[in-house]
Amino acid sequence: MVWKGEQETFHIPLATFESPLWPSTARGAKISRLTNGIHVAVGDERMARSILLEAPSAMEALATMQHILQNTAIIRDAVNATTRHGRFCDVHGQVAGHLLYLRIEMQTGDAAGHNMVTAAAEAALQAICKQFPHLKYGSLSANMCTDKKNAAINGLLGRGHYTIAEIRIPAEICRQHLRTTPARLAKLNQQKNWVGSMLAGSVRSANAHVANILLAAYLATGQDAANIVEGSQAFTLAEEQEDDLLFSLTLPNLIVGTVGNGKHLPFVEENLMRLGCRQTRPNGENATRLAAMIGAATLCSELSLLAALTNPDELMRTHRKLERKQP
């Protein structure tokens, strides 16, 4: 699904000790108001939990996996019986020797879905063990989920909301409001976020400081903020196109919910309310809306920081100015 909100302006709450994040995000937001705005697309939503089963042999592990992947009803039915709020969506498998890993995926509506998918995985595990008595329980959670650890699998198979935020900025606005040019920003992005990350041995991660804004937005909206680990695996693109800068941020693993643990705290309720994420909508649309908003806010701050870094002395000078202003 591509999320297409009406055009609107909103204020995102950011809870952080790193106070320069506020003016940085605000600068990006200002650019969005001076242009055609930030367009956000949310392309997929799922939560995953992987289970582990032990077979007597590799041959049996592989044969059973193939059987299950061709007959997913056993997992689907077990999963769907555990909840009214989510539903089974897919299962992927891997076999290493006699070990069988199954990654169970479901749509979890407005909930981030950690507990929902664990309960569903437990039911699936029991159903499998019952139907295939040659398999033994291995683990209810087997790190191919992958929860709160970096991994390539999440971006490739999906976990959370696949969110892309994009803005087109005329060169003149780059110059006036970001003190840079499309060409300089594109070059810095390539050399820092792509070459630098690759040299560092990063896996599926090419951005400047996505984790900062995710953390601040997660804390302000009652999310399980440990999911910034996956969330930080995001991609910043900056391309000069004719006289514009096309700038985007792709967040393949943005995990958010508007119901569940932490959402009943008064400040969380208030923040979600203000963001319009507590309205009566089809199940899942409040969470999708929140993902889109956090995606847009993260783009703002990413843009502002990268623009600042194109100038040799801007970043620290601004930091110092901000610190002097503080009490």
Among residue numbers 268 through 287, which ones bind a copy of itself (CB under 8 A)? none
Q: Which of 23, 35, 224, 269 binds a copy of itself (CB under 8 A)?
A: 224
258 binds a copy of itself (CB under 8 A): no
Catalytic site includes residue 134:
no
45 binds a copy of itself (CB under 8 A): no
Beta-bridge mates of residue 71: none
* Cα separation values, 210 from 12, 66, 218, 249, Å: 15, 38, 12, 9
Catalytic residue (choose from 90, 224, 240, 285): 224
Is-cis flag, bond preceding 9, omega within 30? no
**Which range touches a copy of itself (CB under 8 A), out of 25-33, 53-61, 73-81, 284-292?**
53-61
Q: Which of 35, 80, 205, 318 binds a copy of itself (CB under 8 A)?
A: 205
280 Cβ partners below 8 Å, 6+ apart?
Answer: none
Window 9-38: residues binding a copy of itself (CB under 8 A)? 17-19
Report how far residue 270's alpha carbon sits from residue 80's, in angstroms, rounded to the nearest whole number.
32
Number of residues that bind a copy of itself (CB under 8 A): 111
DSSP letter at 10 equals -
Instruction: State in angstroms the smallest separation of the CB of 306 from a copy of itself.
Output: 9
Catalytic site includes residue 177:
no
83 binds a copy of itself (CB under 8 A): no
Instruction: State in angstroms the smallest separation of the CB of 276 from a copy of itself.
Output: 21
294 binds a copy of itself (CB under 8 A): no
Residue with tokens 């870094």: 309
**Which range touches a copy of itself (CB under 8 A), out of 72-80, 173-181, 201-209, 277-285?**
201-209
The DSSP result for 77-139, as a single string, is HHHHTT-SS-EEEEEEEEEETTEEEEEEEEE-TTB--HHHHHHHHHHHHHHHHHH-TT-EEEE
Q: Which of 45, 166, 244, 302 binds a copy of itself (CB under 8 A)?
A: 166
Q: Which is nearer to a copy of itself, 282 or 312 (CB)?
A: 312
Q: Are 208 and 306 in contact (CB under 8 A)?
A: yes
Catalytic residue (choose from 98, 177, 209, 319): 319
Q: Which of 262, 269, 283, 322 binds a copy of itself (CB under 8 A)?
A: 262
Q: Are 64 and 135 in contact (CB under 8 A)?
A: yes
Window 301-320: residues binding a copy of itself (CB under 8 A)? 309-310, 312-313, 315-316, 319
94 binds a copy of itself (CB under 8 A): yes
**Which range touches a copy of itself (CB under 8 A), out of 71-79, 170-178, 231-239, 274-282?**
231-239
* Cα separation values, 23 from 30, 117, 262, 303, Å: 10, 38, 27, 12
* Cα separation values, 218 from 173, 250, 326, Å: 30, 17, 24
Report how far residue 310's alpha carbon sits from residue 327's, in angstroms, rounded to the nearest whole number.
29
Across the chain, the runs of DSSP E, i.e. the strands, are 39-54, 87-96, 99-107, 136-139, 160-170, 235-241, 244-254
Catalytic site includes residue 92:
no
Q: Which of 192, 281, 285, 318 binds a copy of itself (CB under 8 A)?
A: 192
Window 130-159: residues binding a copy of itself (CB under 8 A)? 137-157
Which residues belong to the active site? 18, 224, 319
